[in-house]
Copies of this chain bind each other. A is one copy, B any other.
Amino acid sequence: MAEISALAFKWAGEHLLLLDQRKLPDEEVWLKCETDEEVAKAISAMVTRGAPLIGITAAFGIVLAAKQAKRKGLSIQSELERASQVLINARPTAVNLSWAVKRMMNIAKQFQHLPEDKIVGRLEEEAIAIYREDCEANRRIGEYGAALLPENCKVLTHCNTGALAVSDLGTALGVIRTAYRQGKVKFVWVDETRPFLQGARLTAWELLKEGIPFKIIVDGAAAWLMQKGLVDAVIVGADRIARNGDVANKIGTYMLAIAAKRHNIPFYVAAPISTLDISLPSGDQIPIEERNENEVLSWHGVRIAPKDARAFNPAFDVTPAELVKAIITDKGVAFPPYEDKLVKLVHSD
């Protein structure tokens, strides 16, 4: 039985352990998931997060569902149908989630004639393959992206796109890590990324571990730093990229892209090929998750706003392709106009 011990999750064959990212950087608490419902709940509550990582996590959720069906003597195929819906519905915006679940379901269908043991084994192999491919994708994204950055670069990033969001190096943070190791990136500005503070809590935690120099800023300060000449490039991840190159990513990304455009600062998006949704002609069709208002109104159980105040909490926004200098994938870099290139990348080997 293959075991996986990644920064954000551990798999040892019978359950999935997820690092509870809501509790970072204060505590490192691991949550044990034994069923697909528990995995879906953990994704929905943002115990685990990051588009590629929720794809990997959901794949293991399917494995858990198959194992449970076998134990309980239920039909694997119908249990997987149920589990796939539960998992896909956990969060709507990141397409990696449904991408991974569909890939797992294809395996289940393809091998449905095999004995149950074999189906389960084949599903587990596939989940592990999704993880391993993402590790490799991270490495390639890192190399492709680092090549685009200038020497002595001060880079600004939003949200967390590191090992806590993917399998390994990271997407945007993988590019930053790789470019730092090459001596190209000198400094990182970390958007704190309200409301969930993935930048201040998670990206800062990863950068500290690696010794990469950085400072945290409030999200509203990014344009001012650009005006002061303190930012050479912006690089972010993505939760879904439409065929025309429109990019859904963490709320605040669009505003950052507008500011970068004004200052002629290159704005890069880094994501594995599983983030491309070429079935959608443009970003208009990407479903944007609206999360609970309490994520804005409270922090760590402490209410910020007056008792009767309400909030609106869209978790993502869509950055139009025209603001994106390049999309860095594990299969290569696409420059505008994106449509043909993205379709080609998806279909290439």
A contacts, CB < 8 Å to B: 25-26, 189, 191-195, 197, 200-201, 204-205, 208, 214-225, 227, 251-256, 258-259, 262, 296-297, 299-300, 302-314, 317-318
State in angstroms the CA–CA spacing of A222 and B314 once bound together.
Answer: 11
Evaluate contact between B218 and A296: CB separation under 8 angstroms: yes
Evaluate contact between B302 and A204: CB separation under 8 angstroms: no
State in angstroms the CA–CA spacing of A218 and B315 once bound together.
Answer: 10
**In the assembled complex, which residues on chain B have CB atoms less than 8 Å from the CB atom of A297?**
200, 216
Contact of A221 among B216, B223, B224, B314 (CB under 8 A): B314
Evaluate contact between A218 and B204: CB separation under 8 angstroms: no
Evaluate contact between A304 and B251: CB separation under 8 angstroms: no
State in angstroms the CA–CA spacing of A341 and B330 once bound together.
Answer: 56
A192-B304, A218-B251, A219-B219 given. 5 additional CB < 8 A pairs?
Answer: A201-B304, A217-B296, A218-B313, A224-B318, A227-B317
State in angstroms the CA–CA spacing of A214 and B312 once bound together.
Answer: 10
Evaluate contact between B208 and A309: CB separation under 8 angstroms: yes
Contact of A224 among B191, B219, B251 (CB under 8 A): B251
Evaluate contact between A309 and B200: CB separation under 8 angstroms: yes
State in angstroms the CA–CA spacing of A189 and B302 once bound together.
Answer: 22
Give A191's nearest chain B residue, CB to CB: B220
Give A25's nearest chain B residue, CB to CB: B306
Contact of A299 among B224, B258, B299, B306 (CB under 8 A): B299
State in angstroms the CA–CA spacing of A252 and B218 once bound together.
Answer: 8
Give A308's nearest chain B residue, CB to CB: B208
**In the assembled complex, which residues on chain B have CB atoms less than 8 Å from the CB atom of A254?**
223-224, 227
Given A215-B311, A218-B219, A224-B314, A302-B304 contact (CB < 8 Å): no
State in angstroms the CA–CA spacing of A305 and B220 once bound together.
Answer: 17
CB proximity of A194 to chain B, nearest CB, Å: 4
CB proximity of A252 to chain B, nearest CB, Å: 2
Evaluate contact between B192 and A296: CB separation under 8 angstroms: yes
CB proximity of A244 to chain B, nearest CB, Å: 16
**In the assembled complex, which residues on chain B have CB atoms less than 8 Å from the CB atom of A222?**
255
Evaluate contact between A217 and B259: CB separation under 8 angstroms: no
